[in-house]
Structure 1
């Protein structure tokens, strides 16, 4: 195995922010901690709704909710909230003339919720949230700003999960913070399309892993700095795990390599399966999977021929079409 990290699973979480985990660690170490979360924005704001900042009782911080004077004010309020043991709702309105000084690109308003860990935000609830994140389980953190009730939800809020969008539940004062695992792309087949697709996917927010047991194809020289597994594809995808934040792309044209990985993916909850090949090649694939016992509805989950029909010519444009189709399925559903 050629790998830019020491553990292929670690690669899938290396860009995952650790703000809740940091706050929990500080609290358990006796340093006290508060979590500040952007709960609403209007106009211009450099951080999206759901962005978080962890503040320790001795003033150490990790993360960001804005910048400039806004962030400094949030830290001051968080330290006071720790002493008081109660959560606080903060609102900062900024004119266009003053926006740059407080970390906003132009005029706007942000609202921030500050929650001391252990008093407002129960330690056990934060620990469960962190456990779900570590297990790559999508989870929503719900807080009713009127009653101060807090809970975790593992289902419901389908649109919010799909869109990675935290915000208030309709017609309520319940804030829903979405905690999705990082997006991951598993590519079977170290071919020219993969050379273009992997860096594009990384720019789009995916953590890519390349799988190919053929050493001459999946080499460091051809894919410098990439995570490469030289296992058989079905073994590799099982090792990595297949979940709702994973896309699987198959580029080998070889049924011995593609089919076992497809079968594993069809038994999982991956959000996207795409397989390279002509309409005739895909028809043969469908026939093989039918003989293997998969239903018509299950087989229909495979996008083949892969990618949006944009008239792509050459590996780079095919990679664009694949990434575009993955995005459409992720954000709009199959």
Structure 2
């Protein structure tokens, strides 16, 4: 298989299994206290000990890999608990002060193993950017891939983007489509911003009708649209998992994008420019009929105030503010 990225964990497990190497999936199902990784975090382990992903940021991966290799031998899933009062957890390195519960499942054959067809269906849904949840009843090891509209508890977790245990003993592992970042303006700040956003798991699109700016030479491998910003945003249909950033400094380009963004459910809208520039922008938006409440959605000057100077530092401040807005 090709080298998997940090967010292709089910894909890695399926590929290893189909290649005959064997595979197990480890998933954080519950956390208490200062746990290093949230519920839903995953680690794929091959039969030869290769790993993709993380369930603890490195604290207990060694112990989890050992259990995963044993699960591949006995074909039986298990639940592991690591916490500050557990000497085994201390030996494994869980020094953060929290407690985590991890489900380890062999893929493939076995009455209680994770069936290959269910994992394959999950990978297919992820490839098509379709929301889905893998629901596991821990008491019976039964599993079901559930899509929106089939289960109220699943719908609630998909909406909140939070995997976790239900009171009925089911663990719901959320697999939403990637978050999206739409950047208007193929300027120098956009280059590091797109790179950082991709590392944070965002699917990125860059909009700029100016051919000299939005060229594949300046942005190799990026998704580039040369449409007028409002037309491009109409086709992209931003949703509640979308962040939008305008960077052109040109009202002829930024303003149509801002109008479209304010009419969308995008969770973040950030606009480059000084306080003076933003004040003029607000005047134009008010004249165009936007309310103070709508205008208040704009983060401007864009980015957290960390004293950023260089394009890369400004990109870091923007991505930090996007993350803050998403997670808050």
Same-fold call, TM > 0.5? yes
The number of residue pairs the alignment matches comes to 307
Given that residues 144 and 150 in structure 1 are in contact (C-alpha distance below 8 angstroms), is that contact kept between their aligned partners in structure 2?
A: yes
Q: Relative to 1, partners in 2 of residues 1:90 and 1:258: Cα closer, same or farther, differing over 3 Å? A: same
Gaps of at least 5 residues in structure 1 are 1-13
1:303 paired residue among 291, 297, 304? 297
Give me the TM-score of the superposition, normalised by structure 1. Answer: 0.66
**Higher-RCO chain (CA-CA 8 Å, sequence separation at least 6):** 1
Q: Relative to 1, partners in 2 of residues 1:81 and 1:268: Cα closer, same or farther, differing over 3 Å? A: farther
Aligned to 1:21: 11
Aligned to 1:179: 175
Given that residues 230 and 257 in structure 2 are in contact (C-alpha distance below 8 angstroms), is that contact kept between their aligned partners in structure 1?
A: yes
Q: Deviations over 1:14-35 (max 9, x none)?
A: 9552221122234445655432
Aligned to 1:134: 127
Aligned to 1:154: 148
Q: SS of the counterpart of 2:326? A: helix
Partner Cα separation in structure 1 for residue 303 and residue 36 of structure 2: 35
2:50 paired residue among 44, 51, 61? 61
Q: Deviations over 1:190-211 (max 9, x none)?
A: 4466577557656766565543
Partner Cα separation in structure 2 for residue 81 and residue 301 of structure 1: 59
Given that residues 136 and 180 in structure 1 are in contact (C-alpha distance below 8 angstroms), is that contact kept between their aligned partners in structure 2?
A: yes
Partner Cα separation in structure 2 for residue 296 and residue 130 of structure 1: 43
Given that residues 145 and 173 in structure 1 are in contact (C-alpha distance below 8 angstroms), is that contact kept between their aligned partners in structure 2?
A: yes
Q: Deviations over 1:48-103 (max 9, x none)?
A: 432323344x4453324454640342223321342xxx432233457687657524
Aligned 1:253-268 pairs, distance under 5 A? 253-262=249-258, 265=261
Q: SS of the counterpart of 1:78? A: helix
Partner Cα separation in structure 2 for residue 27 and residue 196 of structure 1: 36
Give me the TM-score of the superposition, normalised by structure 2. Answer: 0.67
Partner Cα separation in structure 1 for residue 163 and residue 214 of structure 2: 38
Aligned to 2:284: 284
Given that residues 212 and 228 in structure 1 are in contact (C-alpha distance below 8 angstroms), is that contact kept between their aligned partners in structure 2?
A: no
Partner Cα separation in structure 1 for residue 61 and residue 249 of structure 2: 53
Given that residues 83 and 89 in structure 2 are in contact (C-alpha distance below 8 angstroms), is that contact kept between their aligned partners in structure 1?
A: no
RMSD of the alignment, in Å?
Answer: 4.6
Q: State the Cα distance separating 1:284 from its structure 2 match.
A: 2.5
Partner Cα separation in structure 2 for residue 168 and residue 227 of structure 1: 38
Aligned to 1:246: 242
Q: State the Cα distance separating 1:188 from its structure 2 match.
A: 0.8
Partner Cα separation in structure 1 for residue 203 and residue 262 of structure 2: 21
Gaps of at least 5 residues in structure 2 are none
Partner Cα separation in structure 2 for residue 115 and residue 77 of structure 1: 10
Partner Cα separation in structure 1 for residue 13 and residue 21 of structure 2: 10
Q: Relative to 1, partners in 2 of residues 1:255 and 1:269: Cα closer, same or farther, differing over 3 Å? A: same
Q: Relative to 1, partners in 2 of residues 1:159 and 1:241: Cα closer, same or farther, differing over 3 Å? A: same
Q: Deviations over 1:176-201 (max 9, x none)?
A: 22224443322212446657755765
Partner Cα separation in structure 1 for residue 140 and residue 89 of structure 2: 33
Q: Relative to 1, partners in 2 of residues 1:197 and 1:257: Cα closer, same or farther, differing over 3 Å? A: same
Aligned to 1:87: 77
Q: Which one is further off, 111-120 or 70-79? A: 111-120
Q: Which one is further off, 191-200 or 23-32? A: 191-200
Given that residues 306 and 322 in structure 1 are in contact (C-alpha distance below 8 angstroms), is that contact kept between their aligned partners in structure 2?
A: no
Q: Which one is further off, 274-283 or 91-100? A: 91-100
Q: State the Cα distance separating 1:230 from its structure 2 match.
A: 6.1
